[in-house]
Amino acid sequence: MKKLSRRSFLYGAGGAAMALPWLNLTHLSGAGSTVASSPVRMAFYYIPIGIVRSAFFPNQDETEYKLTPTLKPLEAMKHKTTLITGLDRIVQSGTDVHAQCGSCFLTSAAPNEVKNSAYPLSRTLDHVIADHVGKQTPFRSLELSCNSHKDNKESVYFDNISWYGTGHVAPSFRNPRKVYRRLFGTQGIKDYRDITDIVLEDARSFSRELGVEDRQKFAEYFDSVRSIEKQIDKIEQKKELIAKVEMIEPDDVPLPRREYIRLMGHLMIVALQNNLTHVATMMVGPERWNTPTMYEGVFDKPKSHHQLSHAQSKNQVRHDLEAIDHFHIEQFAYMIQKMDSIKEGERSLLDNTVFTLGSGLGDGQTHQYNKLPIVIAGSGGGSFKTGRLIKCNDGTPLANLWLSYTHLMGINRKRFADSTGLLKELGVEKRD
């Protein structure tokens, strides 16, 4: 890894575009895949607290539609995106709506389907897919959250969309430096190999001392240690891959929000590009979490996304909310443009990815779980047509889209969560 001067990273005022070397992807050579072997990557970009629908969804029909003010940043990449309207999730009463809309977005289990849990939460889509494709890569999956709050205000359900299963979170990284070290660090981990055998043996006898329920919970230990073993086995492969990556370790300095999100995005892109993982999730912010956040360059004072969402009947507040939505789309647009600039044979990294933007709430004010905002960037290696607006009938389960994704990734299943069938309108053809 090439060391660059760190001085140039320090951010200036205003949060305008700055020359941050780590954001400059054009220098990356990477271990770009050849056409023949381009794997499909699956990534998610989660927006908390819903969006202002009126400024998000276009009124036009499917063929010729204009991007709404909120979606404007996607203009240059419109031909590579797919906007879907009309998808729904069903709420299960008994938990906070924000906690549930985020934590259950990618699981979409039917209400009361999951026993012994207040949340309709089972293994989330990203992990179901990682079960299938994760063996090929050093990391099964990557979970990121752009949550910069310092107060320990909300529970784990507000800050994570990726779950191994009921009550078992796949915790997300908030700190770019830690992501970097996880992705590119190889030191030490090899030494663990000598220890894993010992502790697994110990764990087996320990497990026998536990009651039934505790034993179920304790499975997390075996899963975690074995997952590390697999990573160690792939370490040589990983070393080869990351030798080609030119990226320097981020400093541990708080960044303005825009740069923070982009840096996390960049880390995700580098991981996907270099086949360190094929599955990634990123929350652009946590659910609810009332604490005001500074959106540099958007507002001059910290604002609470959640509080704004409940006051949007006021015009000024709605404008502010739309500005936040726009800001989030802008960062998504930045990421997909970067991904499109990375060539993989005749296609780009973006083309070979299914990168889905979405929120667990259609509307933040009323906590509606219907008419969810969904934008797909990329086409999973040409698995479906892009540049379209797909209007689903109201009430179409979000899980239908997820089911289509499992098929796209080569998983043959009849049902995913509360799906009623494939999302036919997307027209996924199974890839070989």
Residues near other proteins, by CB under 8 A? 93, 96-97, 99, 116, 118, 140, 149-159, 164, 167-171, 173-174, 182, 188-189, 191-192, 194-195, 198-199, 201-203, 205-206, 208-214, 217-218, 220-221, 223-225, 227-228, 231, 291-292, 302, 307, 310-311, 313-314, 317, 365-368
Q: Smaller CB distance to other proteins: residue 192 or 299?
A: 192
Q: Smaller CB distance to other proteins: residue 14 or 302?
A: 302
Identity of the amino acid at 292: P
CA-CA distance, 146 to 83, in Å (whole number)? 24
DSSP state letters, 229-287: HHHHHTHHHHHHHHHT---PPPPS----HHHHHHHHHHHHHHHHHTTS-SEEEEESS-S
Q: Smaller CB distance to other proteins: residue 217 or 430?
A: 217
* Secondary structure of residue 163 in the 3-state scheme: strand
Query: 346 to each of 198, 268, 352, 376, how far by Cα in Å?
Result: 48, 22, 11, 20
Burial class of residue 313 in the structure, from the number of CB atoms within 10 Å of its CB (0-12 exposed, 13-18 middle, 19+ buried): exposed
Contacts 24+ apart (CB under 8 A), 61-67: 61/389, 61/391, 62/388, 62/389, 62/390, 62/391, 63/388, 65/389
Q: Smaller CB distance to other proteins: residue 132 or 182?
A: 182
Reported residue count of the chain is: 432
Instruction: Give the list of residues 6+ apart from residue 327 with CB closer than 8 angstroms, or none.
Output: 257, 258, 295, 298
The separation between the first and the last C-alpha atoms of the chain, rounded to the nearest angstrom, is: 36
Task: Please provide residue 88's backbone torsions phi and psi, each rounded to the nearest 5 degrees.
Answer: -130, 155
Q: Smaller CB distance to other proteins: residue 65 or 289?
A: 289
Q: Please, what is the minimum distance in Å from the beta carbon of residue 366 to other proteins?
A: 5
Q: What sign has the CA pseudo-torsion 180, 186, 192, 193?
A: positive
Q: Smaller CB distance to other proteins: residue 365 or 406?
A: 365
Look-up of token digits 């190999």: 193
- Closest by Cα among 401, 417, 399, 321 to 83: 401
Token code pair at residue 419: 């799906």
Q: Smaller CB distance to other proteins: residue 26 or 313?
A: 313
Q: Smaller CB distance to other proteins: residue 12 or 188?
A: 188
* Secondary structure of residue 409 in the 3-state scheme: coil
Q: Smaller CB distance to other proteins: residue 56 or 119?
A: 119
Q: Smaller CB distance to other proteins: residue 281 or 352?
A: 281
- Alpha carbon 18 to its chain centroid, in Å, reads 25
380 and 411 Cβ atoms separated by less than 8 Å:
no
Token code pair at residue 180: 């970097």
Q: Please, what is the minimum distance in Å from the beta carbon of residue 226 to other proteins?
A: 9
SS (H, E, C) 25-93: HHHCCCCCCCCCCCCCEEEEEECCCCCCHHHCCCCCCCCCCCCCCCCHHHHHHHHHEEEEEEEECCCCC
